[in-house]
A and B are shown apart, each in its own frame.
Chain A
Amino acid sequence: VSDGGEKALQEFLSEAQEIIEAFNRDLLALDEGRAAGRFDPEVINEAFRAVHSLKGLSGLFGVTRMTNLSHNLENLLDSLRLGRIELGPDTLDLLFEAVALFNRIVGETAGGSGDSTGLVEDFIERLDRVATKRAEVKEELPWGGFELDPSMLSVLTEYEEHRLRENIKAGRALYRIHAAFELMTIDKGLDQLKSKLKPVGEVITYLPSAESANEQQIELDIVLGAAKSIEEVNAAVAGSGARVFALPKKAAAAVEAMPVVIAPPPPTLKMARDDEGELSLKSVAQTVRVDIRKLDHLMNIVGELAIAKAGFSAIYDAVKTDRAHKKLARALQHELKAFTRRLDEMQSGILEVRMVPLGQVFDKLSRVVRKISRDAGKEIRLVISGADTELDKLIVEELSDPLMHVIRNCIDHGIERPEVRLKAGKPEAGTIGISAEQRGNHVVITVEDDGAGLDEKRLVERAVERGLVDVAQSGEMSRRDIFNLIFLPGVSTKEVVDEMSGRGVGMDVVKTNIARLSGIIDVESEPGQGTRLTITLPITLAIIQALVVRAAGRTFAMPLNSVLESLRITRQDIATVERREVMTLRGQTLPLARLERLFALGRGEEAPAPPRQFVVVVGLAQHRIGLCVDELVGQQDIVIKPLGRALASVPGIAGATELGGKKTELVLDVAAIVEEAVAAPASSERVA
């Protein structure tokens, strides 16, 4: 191959790849639209154009099988465009398969090896079968009751006729827009008018007007399908000189043929002075889009109010002991109660506004599953339940990446190849189940697959290879410990590193991200049966319950959702293993950590640790440790505030909060502390 030819080939490849990507995006948009019950003809047209370009391009470079494939896809897309066949999940699957096939051909052309001609031929055969299966046109009422001019109908193209039917089916109104254009500038004039109409509806066709025209002008009738009122259409064409007429309907007859238009929820606010006519012009959606930061701000204010409330409570406590003010105290208590109740209502009201259904993430996941499974050559059935479970918007946002990694791991490492599955007596298609449910103040998300399960032996080998555990240690590990090795960096059960994901990096990231959301992740697996990941998350992060403790003369707050229990111990309860402090809790060894050591805090003048201490047992992800503190102050609702960019990277500190006394106190990042305590070998632990 000459240099010039090589360069041209490269250009072909990159251009083809670009078009294939665009085609894939169109398909995803179609899939999404289909799921939402929408159908955008423009997207089909886009897809059609993409395939058409591929046909031309591949023809130019003599990649015959791509030309054939494109040609036959064109036919299918054309049938879709014209509504001859319906866009069902099977058809979409077929189209997505075409994307994979296109990519394969590009790969083959680039590497110069492999031949998918056979595959393409098979595929084309299947395409033909779908493309010839015409959808039955079932028409209860011609033209949905619209009185349409037969002379107009007779000149519509098949596509225009299809769009006309679709518009009627969608319950839109039809308008005739009459406009006159100068003969010389009709192209420009028509384009301008069309662009004005685009926001309000779909231009179905335009025809020369039956009305007489003068010699210098051409008069056109544009047929527009729109869900808007005639006033709005009129407003859209204002200034163009065009006139708008609503196409009349036969009375009564139409009612049944019309699909049900989803009624907006009844407006809760109704202005007294609005008459019916005016109301119809108002937007029907009674929703407001709000920047989440504004909600954070409101939440901050509620937090400040809660602090003020604590101040009032303190005043009440002071007053109630004073006999002289008994009456006053009772009145204060009464008001305080009412205030507290309202404040709680306000707090939960704002929290509720922040809640969004998890379905937002699940929808994204189903698209990803489609793509990854196709790339991995595995068939996957995705079963989703509990999509209406609600979580704080911020958590939902942060969840999509970790969940994506989890799903990728399921597909890449969990679900076996189809031939392996068949041999094992499982259905060819693997199943991934994602479910969510609320349990108290937590939401539990489970992701399970019916794949091969985790290979315990391999996990341990890998962890030993990487020096993450030593051989002696590995012998004593429980099954649970072994499964949890997948959360360590660099441990993976798959030998081949593929470009999509896998490499074990994913699960490491997942664990970190979940821990950052104050969540807990757990893994269970049964060889040959599958793997189940359970993610437990707090419903919100905005206001959290915290346990306030004192250690080394300082006050700290710990998010209560990471606290398992707290106990009182004495010196004698503490033993050491390899110089690390541990204690026995219900027959199990619990490693202990001290804040003053972790944070190198001086104890000042005070005596060493008091003989009686408290241990707060904290657990995150798979680990549990006991944190020794001097005093348990109590539980409190706190608003965590970030420390700002300059201090964002201080390990072990999640933020700060103002406690009742107006003093700023630190909130511990329990996840980071647990991790550090577990990771740090005894020798490197700093001694204050």
Chain B
Amino acid sequence: MSDRLELATEENFMRAVDAQKARPTRAVLTFVVGGETYGVDILSIREIIKLREVTEVPRTPAFLIGIITVRGAVIPVIDLRLRLKLPATPPTRAARILVVVREGEPFGLLVDAVSGVVRLAESEIETPPSTLAGGEGVFLAGIGRHRQGKRDRMVILLSLQQVVEFNAGGGG
């Protein structure tokens, strides 16, 4: 009884709210690409769909594998493996297309498999190490570390901005 009464005081309540505020967490959808675990903010994902037939578009970069129509809208699909310059392998049944929206424009990201959702506090997110800043590191927004069971897990947070920014006409 007394515990509950204590919790109910305004002061305690506010303290709890502040504590919550000081430790805001981000929900991150994690997925696998080329054996590595990546993540993007779950709020940037509109939906996750199964792989379907993609219509290739000529004169676009190779990582842009084509277009699909989702609910009447044409969406370009980016193969994240190719985008991240990882070796290409044919997609399996677990492959999914993440439909993300960037500045009002939808994009599809082809991933090997979707793992799940983790919550990360800001304190659990590292800025990318400077050694990774060049080269492939341009897609890195940070590295998240969280505990899953007894093990420390690592999530590579992708910068969607960088992933979807490319010059379509210029590529091969």
Interface residues of A (CB under 8 A from B): 300, 304, 554, 598-601, 641-653, 655-656, 658, 663-666
Known contacts A644-B106, A647-B168; is-contact A599 B67 (Cβ 8 Å): no
A641 engages B74 (CB within 8 Å): yes
**Does A664 lie within 8 Å of B105, measured CB to CB?**
no
B57 touches A644 (CB 8 A): no
* CB pair B55 A651 closer than 8 Å: no
Q: Name 11 extra pairs, CB < 8 A, besides A643-B67, A651-B59.
A: A600-B58, A641-B74, A642-B74, A646-B166, A647-B57, A647-B67, A650-B57, A650-B58, A652-B59, A653-B58, A664-B55
> Which residues of chain B are within 8 angstroms of A300 by Cβ–Cβ distance?
72
Cβ A646 vs Cβ B58 within 8 A: no
B74 with A650: CB separation less than 8 A: no
Q: Given the known inter-chain contacts A599-B58, A651-B59, A665-B55, please indicate yes or no for A646 contacting B105, CB distance below 8 A.
A: yes
Q: B169 to A649, Cβ gap below 8 A?
A: yes
A-B contact pairs, 15 of them (CB 8 A): A600-B58, A643-B74, A644-B106, A647-B57, A647-B168, A649-B168, A650-B58, A650-B59, A651-B59, A653-B57, A653-B59, A663-B53, A664-B69, A666-B55, A666-B57
Q: How many chain B residues touch the partner (CB < 8 A)?
A: 24
B67 and A656 within 8 A (CB): yes
B1 at interface, CB cutoff 8 A:
no
Interface pair A641/B69, CB less than 8 Å apart? yes
Q: Is B139 an interface residue (CB 8 A)?
A: no
Cβ–Cβ contact B68 & A650, under 8 A? no
User: Please, how many angstroms separate the alpha-carbon atoms of A641 and B106 in the complex?
Assistant: 14
- A655–B106 CA distance with the chains assembled, in angstroms: 16
Given A656-B67, A664-B67, A664-B68, check contact A646 B53 (CB 8 Å).
no
The 8 closest A-B pairs by CB, nearest first: A599-B58, A649-B169, A664-B69, A664-B55, A656-B74, A641-B74, A647-B168, A645-B105
B73 within 8 A of A: yes
B60 at the interface (CB under 8 A from A): yes
Query: Of all chain B residues, which has the CB nearest A297?
Result: B72
**Are A646 and B164 also in contact (CB < 8 A) when A600-B58, A655-B74, A664-B74 are?**
yes
Q: How far is the CB of A145 from chain B (nearest CB, A)?
A: 60
Q: Shortest Cβ distance from B50 into chain A, in angstroms? A: 14
Instruction: Tell whether A643 pairs with B57 under 8 Å between CB atoms, given A650-B168, A655-B74, A664-B69.
Output: yes
Interface centre among B76, B164, B166 (most CB of A within 10 A): B76
**Contact call A656/B69, Cβ cutoff below 8 A:** yes
Q: Given the complex, which residues of A lie within 8 Å of B45, measured CB to CB?
A: none
Distance between Cα atoms of A642 and B75 in the complex (Å): 10
Interface positions, chain B 109-127, Cβ under 8 Å from A, are: none
Q: Which residues of A contact B167 (CB under 8 A)?
A: 649
| Complex alpha-carbon distance, A599 and B105, angstroms | 25
Q: How far is the CB of A685 from chain B (nearest CB, A)?
A: 14
B145 to chain A, nearest CB (A): 33
**A644 contacts across to B, CB distance below 8 A:** 73-76, 105-106
Q: How far is the CB of A542 from chain B (nearest CB, A)?
A: 14
Inter-chain CA distance A642–B59, complex, in Å, is 16
| Residue B38 lies at the interface, judged by CB distance under 8 Å to chain A | no
- Complex Cα gap A643–B56 (Å): 12
In B149-169, which residues have CB < 8 Å from any A CB? 164, 166-169
User: What's the Cα separation between A554 and B53 when bound, in Å?
Assistant: 13
CB-CB under 8 A from A647, the residues of chain B are 57, 60, 64, 67, 76, 168
Q: Cβ of A599: which chain B residues have Cβ within 8 Å of it?
A: 58-59
Q: Which residue of B56, B57, B164 has the most chain A CB atoms within 10 A of its CB atom?
A: B57
B31 at the interface (CB under 8 A from A): no
Q: Is the CB of A641 within 8 A of B73?
A: yes
User: Which A residues are in CB contact (< 8 Å) with B105?
Assistant: 644-646
